[in-house]
Each structure stands twice: as C-alpha cells, then as structure tokens.
C-alpha cells in the first residue's frame, strides 16, 4: 500500500473510532437518565408503601370499632329484650 491509501484507511479508522466514542457517550447519558428515573420510581414506591401501611392500620382500627359496636349492640339488645 502506498502512503495515500494508508492515510485514507487511517482517516476511515479514526472516523469510526470517533463515531463509536460518540455512541458510547450517548449510551452513557441514556443510562444515567434511566438510573435517575429508577431512583425516583423507587422513592415513589416506598412512599406508596408507607401510605398503604397507614391505610391498613386505619382499616384495622375501623373494623375493630365496628365489631366492638356490633358486640355492644348485641349485648344491649339481649339485655333490653329486643331479641326474644
């Protein structure tokens, strides 16, 4: 190969290397964006779990009060002869 062909081939290789570097940098940026989105999603899921835990606690208290009220009404009804 003569010098001119070597220089053309070298330029072609440099262009390919530069293009691949640009692609790699672009992929790195995309990965960073995905990781940031993933961390925000994790925080939202944790907050949702905390809210669900408090809702479950509230529902348990409500069911306990409802059952207690029903039992209290049952004893009241038996004592006053509503159920014969």
Residue 1 pLDDT exceeds 80: no
In percent, the amount of the chain with pLDDT more than 70 equals 98
Average pLDDT over residues 35-63: 96
Domain ranges of the chain: 1-83
Residues with Cβ within 8 Å of residue 20, at least 6 apart in sequence? none
DSSP string, 5-17: HHHHHHHHHHHHH
Q: Rounded to an integer, what distance in angstroms lies between the CA atom of residue 11 and that of residue 33?
A: 33
- Residues 34, 82: Cα–Cα separation, whole Å: 66
pLDDT score for 84: 66
pLDDT band for position 83 (cuts 50, 70, 90): confident
DSSP-H helix ranges across the chain: 3-79
Q: What's the pLDDT band for 58 if we cut at 50, 70, 90?
A: very high
């Amino acid at each position: 190969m003569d010098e001119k062909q070597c220089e053309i081939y070298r330029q072609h290789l440099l262009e390919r290397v530069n293009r691949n570097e640009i692609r790699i940098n672009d992929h790195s940026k995309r990965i960073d964006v995905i990781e940031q989105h993933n961390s925000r999603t994790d925080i939202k899921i944790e907050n949702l779990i905390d809210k669900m835990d408090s809702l479950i606690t509230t529902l348990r208290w409500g069911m306990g009060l409802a059952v207690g009220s029903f039992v209290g009404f049952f004893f009241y009804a038996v004592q006053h002869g509503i159920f014969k």
